[in-house]
Every structure is written in C-alpha cells, then in structure tokens.
Amino acid sequence: MSVLIKKNNGNLQHYDSNSGLVVPAQTNQAFTQDVSVRKELKLHDIIEIIKRRKLAILLPLLLTLALAVLYTLSTPASYRSNATIQIEREGVQIVDFGSTSKPADAFGSDKDPFFRTRYEMLKSRVLSQKVINDLNLKESLSSPEKKPGLSLSTLLNYFGAAKKSKTPPRIDYNEIFQKNLLIKPINGTHLVQIIYEAPTAKLAKDVVSSLINNFIKLQIETKSETGEYAKNFLKKQLAEARTRLRSSEEALVKYANEKGILGVDEKQTRHVKKLENLDSALVQAEIRRIEAESLYQQMKRAGSVATVLTNPVISNLKASLVKLEGDYQEMLKTFKPNYPDMVRLKQQINNLRSKLNKEMVNIQRSMEADYLAAKRQENKIRNELGQFNHKMQNLQDSSVDYNTLKREVDSNGKLYNNLLQRLEEVNVASAATTSNISILEPAVEPISRYRPKPKINILLGLFSGLLLGLGFAFLREALDQSIKDPEDLERMTGLPVLGSVPRVRKSALKKNLALLSAKEPQNPAAEAYRILATNLRFMSGPEDERVLLITSAQPQEGKSVTASNLACSYAQMGLKVLLVDADIRKASLHKKLNISNKLGLSNYLKGEVDLVGITQPVKEVPGLYAITAGDYEADPVSLLSHERMSYLTTQGASIFDFVIIDSPPVLGFADSLVLSSLASATLVVTQEETLNARTVQRVLKQLSRVKNNVIGFLLVNVRKTNAETKLYSKYHKKRARQALLAHDSASKKEVKYA
C-alpha cells in the first residue's frame, strides 16, 4: 500500500508501507504524457473488454447470422455433377504413318501447348452451343431465379434496357453456360475433371455427359476433315509435279542430243573431288603457316612463348638458374661478393644464363625455319589450285546448262515420288481414325445438393460475425478516450486513486446522501468515505496546514456530497472540521446540511460580516462547522481573489483540524483555480461513468499551472464492488440486526418486569 505524503518543502512523495521507502510522486509530469499509451493487454483485460463491449460484439454477430440465414433461404438449390476424362496426345495407332497433325512437345502439365489447347476447346463456345442445342437448355438458362451470378446491378441493367427498348434483351446463353461449367485439369497428369452446376441433379449429369460426347465427336471430326483436306491437296500437288517432271526430262534429252554431251556428270564429279582436296590442303597449309608465323612473331617480340616455356631443356635451365640465384642471395647475407665461393657461384650463374640465351636463340631460329617452310608450302598449293580452277572453268562452260537441266529432272522426280508415297499413306491413315480421349469416371446424378449449405453458411456467419464483433469492440475500445479502471487513471496521471465510493441504490438513502457517513455508518458508501478520510489524514504531517480543496472536472459529479461526507467522517473521528461552500454560483451545502444561508462566504468577502458571524455548527454532526456560500454575485472570481479568502484559510487551518472547501468544477470556471492556490491539497472527484482521459488531462494541466498540489482522485458512483467488501458488508449488517434484536428483546423483558 502506498500513501501520498506532503513534505515541508511542498513536494509530494509516496510512502510504501510494504518496503518502507519514500519516493517522489510524479504529479506534474505524468499527466502530460500521451493519453493513448495503454497497458499491455492480458487475458483478464481482454475478458473485461468483451464484457464491457458485449453489445458491440452481439450486434454484428446477430447481423451476420441473419444475413447468412437470409442468404441460405434465398439461394436456389443447385446440384453439381462431375466426370473425369483422360486426354492423350495420340489415340490408338492402327498405322504408324500418315499423321496429318504435328506431334506435341514433351509433357509439361498445364503449360504444355497441346493439353492447354484441349482444355480451352472444352470451354469453347462451339462445344457449349452443341450441348445447349442437344439438351435444349435455353429455357433453364434464361430463368432469372436459376441464373448464376444474379445481382441487383444485373437486374437494374435488365429492367433499364427493357425500358429503353421495346424488344426483349438478347441473352447470351453461352456465357451463362460457361459460368456454370468448371474445367479442372489435375496437375501432373493427363486427367481433366469436368464439373457442371444445374438446378436439378439429372440436368447436371446430362450436361456433363453431353459435353464429353460432343468433345470426342469434335476431335474425330477435326481429324477427318484434316485428312480429307490433306488428300485433296496432295492430289493437286502430285498432278503439277508430274507435269513439271515430264517437261524437264524432255528438255534434258533435247539439250544432250544437240550438244553431244555424254558422261559429263562423272567427269565433273572427279574434278570436283580434286578441287575439294586442293581447297582442304590450302586451308591446312594456311593454318600451319599462321601458327608458325604467330609463334615466330611472338618469339621475336616477347622472347618467349608457351612452347618455349614448356620445353624441358629450357625448364631445367631456368630451374637451375633460379636455384643458383637463390643460393647466391642467401650466401650474400653472410659473405661479400669477392668471397671465392661467391665469385664461383656468380660465374656459374653467368654460364647458365649464357647457355639459356643460346638455347632461346636456337629455338627462335628453328621457329623461323618452320615459318618459312610453311609459307613455301602454302604458295605451292595456292599456285596449283589456281591452275586447276582455270581448267575447271573451261569444263563448266560446256556443262553448266546440262547440269542445270539434270538437277531439275532429279528434283522433280524426287518430289513426285515423295508426293505419291505421302498420298498413299494419308489414304490409309484417314480410314483408321481413332479418338485420343477416354472416359475414366462417367458422370452420375448427385445425391445431395451442392448449394446452399445451411450448416456451413450459419457457421461461417457465426464465425465472421464473431470476428467482426470482436474487431469492432476492440476498435471502439482503442478509440474510446474514457478510463476503464483506477489502474488506468493512476498510470496515466501518476496520482493515486484515494478511494472508490460505490453507488447508493436506495432512494431513502439518496435523500440523506450528504450526511450518509453520519446517519448510515454501516453503508458501504459511508465506509468508503471513512477510508478516504483516513488516507487524507495520514498523508500530511501534523505541522502542515490541512486545507483541502474538493473539486471536479464537470458539474454533477458529486464533489459537494464528497465534501460533506468527508467532513462528517473527520468529525466522527473527534476532529474539528470547517466545511466551506465556495461554490457561490450554485450553493448547495446549506440544503444538504439543513442550515441557513442568509449570511455566508460572499457576505464575508464583501466585508459585511466577520468569520464568527458566518460560521455555523452542524447540529446533527458534533465537531462539524460550516460556512455556506451566501448570496450569488455576478463575479465570484473577484470575491474569491480577495485577501479575505486567504485570511479565512489561514485562520481556519490554525483553529480547526481540517478545512474542507467545496469549489465549482474546474472546466469552464476560474473559481477552482483561485481556490487551489490557497489550499494545501486538492482532491479531484469524478464519476466512473464520465471518466475521460482528455478531460482529466485538461483538469490537471489547468490546476498545475496555478499550484502543484493535486494529491489524487476519488471515484464516485462505482458500480463494481470487490467480493471482500460485499462479504464484510453482509457480515456487518448481520451483526447489526442481531444486536438490534437483542436490544429489542432486552427492552421487552424490562417492560415485563416493570
């Protein structure tokens, strides 16, 4: 338990009875913090939020549940039937030739062009139109109550179009059919699931069966049409090829007879082979010459090439040279260059380097000789090729026309033979057309309807409504600026809640609410005021002035009742208490205490009467004295700012144990600010229902600008009472009734004996 203590220097401190430590109280900084800072939610806090916002949760829950029920009742019943088919690239192959379609690429699931094409064909308008015509589905598809995707906008568009045009709107049956159809390829397989939703179970099954049958027929018809087209095309091309072949053969024979050409083809073949050999030899010679020239030029420029570096002689010489130079550098650390061993080692290095240079020169000369030899060989082959080319030109001049005619004859003959063979194959393949589609699971009539699903809809409605309600409740909780409990108030302001006064429910007690502590001491509210009085009594030392200002943020929050009951509680403790009604604008204490208001505080502040003349004892509460507000003045602030008011508080604190001042609310009036500067402590009274973070912040800011003496808060009209308080109250009432019965019994015995 912590108690707020006021020290001589005016600073407020907390005394913790558990630890025995005294720490500074945060009064002037705490209330300036951000009001939006909340404590971390725990399970207890979440449960409290749910209890507090149960209406906000219940309304969305009931609304979504009602919408779910309405949707379930308004949704027409529909059934789904499905079938599974297998699509292969090719059907059963009776012959393995004469195919008129290009084979598909390797299998690639949905991305395979072949299978993707088949899936789209299942959803084509041509196929859907065939099914609509076979089953006469126009009537069922045009029925508005059975049409899927029906919405308010479509109805408005429908009736709007009907108003603009006298002719009925055109219905796209294929589009409606496609909305009910679902083509679902099974990944990683050649299987396709076909699903259709219809108003009746039989219709759903018939549509799926008809769709599959028409799809198979369409595949076979497409293959047959392709075969007929191929046969007609091949026949036409074959006739043209036959004519061209005959013409080219006649021209070749005529030219050969005129020129007397015989065996030209064999002669040309021999010369062509020789020409190819010479060309190949020239290319090889050029390659050898280029390689030799490249190595030679590189050797001249850089002094080394890859072949030199890999030469075993050069490699060994370089390795020996590196080793000797390393030994020389190592011995140079110990011996001077003129040392005999150093001179001998240096001579070995020079000899080895000279030998390496000679080997490099020899290799360079060898490369130069290879280059010159390759160049001579290339020139020789080039000259021979030039002579042979001249000879071939003379030969070709006489045989070019003959070869041209002969090639034309060969080409036309080959084309004619290929076309003839292809035509025979297509004739055989067209007669053996099979389907590449097989039915694995045929369509069956569904037993139960697909939609609506009442249980699922209601569960979804309950779940979504619960989520929506919880979200709405926590949103309201986050936006709510009210303070939920004393812990929030203490955390936000840094000031303690010194008491919580429960709500008084009996109408008889409400009439005597101001004197509840004196007239109904067993009431929980009276006990709460005594707890407040005890806390305030021990918060300040005996040497401090005990001038307590009671105020509130807004009117009708119970500050006057609090001031009266607090004064009664102190008086019951045997203390002398002065209760001052400084709410001149709306005087009320004289009515609550049943005393006169003829002369009061306003008369004293105007100088019409002294303190003794306005101080009245409260007969019902011994030790309690009161100063009423007196007559109302147009400017109470000027009266309260007079030095007479300061004199009243000083003299009252010296004569009485406690001076309690009932002041107007803080917001909207300056009276409380003036009185707060004269008081040694200020208590803010607020109701639990109207507790608002922004309001509390404004009150504390205004009071802190005048004097930092706010010691805490008192919550009144608290609805919740802890279990221990209720139990103790019941026990106290029970003992009081027993004592009263015992007293009545004793009185009756005395009367009897008398």
Tens-place pLDDT, residues 218-241:
877 776 666 666 767 777 777 888
Q: Which residues of 641-666 are buried (b: 16+ CB within 10 A; e: fewer)?
A: beebbeebbeebbeebbbbbbbbbbb
Model confidence at 738, pLDDT cuts 50, 70, 90, reads low
pLDDT attached to residue 421: 75
pLDDT attached to residue 480: 64
- For residue 147 the two structure tokens come to 């049409």
Same domain, 314 and 456: no
Inside any domain, residue 305: yes
Same domain, 271 and 370: yes
Same domain, 544 and 677: yes
Model confidence at 59: pLDDT above 80: yes
* Tokens 């030392």, residue located: 541
Instruction: Encode 653-720 in three state secondary structure.
Output: HHHCCEEEEECCCCCCCCHHHHHHHHCCEEEEEEECCCCEHHHHHHHHHHHHHHCCCEEEEEEEEECC
Rounded to whole angstroms, the Cα distance separating 11 from 685 reads: 22
Tens-place pLDDT, residues 534-560:
888 877 655 556 899 999 988 888 889
Three-state secondary structure call for residue 718? strand
Average pLDDT over residues 596-606: 89
Rounded to whole angstroms, the Cα distance separating 147 from 176 reads: 7
Inside any domain, residue 279: yes
Instruction: Tell me if 437 sits within 8 A of 219, measured CB to CB.
Output: yes
Same domain, 620 and 681: yes
Task: Give the chain's domain count.
Answer: 4
Smallest CA-to-CA distance from 614 within 622, 626, 632, 623 is with 626
Same domain, 471 and 493: no
Same domain, 471 and 391: no
pLDDT attached to residue 151: 46
Percentage of the chain with pLDDT > 70? Answer: 73
The last residue of one of the domains, among 361, 395, 430, is 430
Model confidence at 72: pLDDT above 80: yes
pLDDT attached to residue 394: 59
Inside any domain, residue 128: no
Model confidence at 34, pLDDT cuts 50, 70, 90, reads very low
Helix 125-135 and helix 173-180, axial crossing angle in degrees, nearest 10: 100
Tens-place pLDDT, residues 434-489:
667 888 888 888 888 888 888 888 899 889 888 988 888 888 777 765 666 677 77
Same domain, 667 and 687: yes
Average pLDDT, the chain: 76
Structural domain of 743? 724-754
Rounded to whole angstroms, the Cα distance separating 683 from 539 reads: 12
pLDDT attached to residue 53: 78
Inside any domain, residue 630: yes
Tens-place pLDDT, residues 707-721:
888 988 888 888 765
pLDDT attached to residue 568: 92
pLDDT attached to residue 484: 63
Inside any domain, residue 140: no
Alpha helices in 303-339 (DSSP H): 306-309, 312-332
pLDDT attached to residue 130: 87
- For residue 78 the two structure tokens come to 């529909």
Average pLDDT over residues 32-48: 59
Smallest CA-to-CA distance from 241 within 404, 423, 101 is with 423
Instruction: Tell me if 666 sits within 8 A of 699, measured CB to CB.
Output: yes
Smallest CA-to-CA distance from 118 within 436, 355, 535, 414 is with 436
Inside any domain, residue 5: no
Model confidence at 747: pLDDT above 60: no
Tens-place pLDDT, residues 632-661:
777 888 888 889 999 999 998 899 989 999
Rounded to whole angstroms, the Cα distance separating 729 from 527 reads: 9
Instruction: Tell me if 494 sits within 8 A of 26, measured CB to CB.
Output: yes
The CATH number of the domain where 375 resides is what? 1.10.287
Model confidence at 102: pLDDT above 60: no
Q: Give the residue with greater pLDDT, 591 vs 229.
A: 591
- Triad 623, 626, 629: Cα angle to 5°: 175
pTM above 0.85, yes or no: no
The CATH number of the domain where 505 resides is what? 3.40.50.300
Same domain, 333 and 390: yes
Three-state secondary structure call for residue 384? helix
Same domain, 404 and 473: no
Rounded to whole angstroms, the Cα distance separating 568 from 529 reads: 9
Tens-place pLDDT, residues 161-181:
445 555 556 788 888 888 888
Neighbours of 206 (CB within 10 A): 20
Rounded to whole angstroms, the Cα distance separating 325 from 346 reads: 8
Same domain, 503 and 603: yes
- For residue 555 the two structure tokens come to 């009117």
Model confidence at 29, pLDDT cuts 50, 70, 90, reads very low
Tens-place pLDDT, residues 146-162:
444 444 445 455 555 44
Burial grade of 242 (CB within 10 A; 0-12, 13-18, 19 or more): middle
Inside any domain, residue 248: no
Report how far apart, in Å, the C-alpha atoms of 570 and of each of 270, 373, 654 are: 140, 133, 16
Same domain, 543 and 473: no
Inside any domain, residue 127: no
Same domain, 729 and 681: no
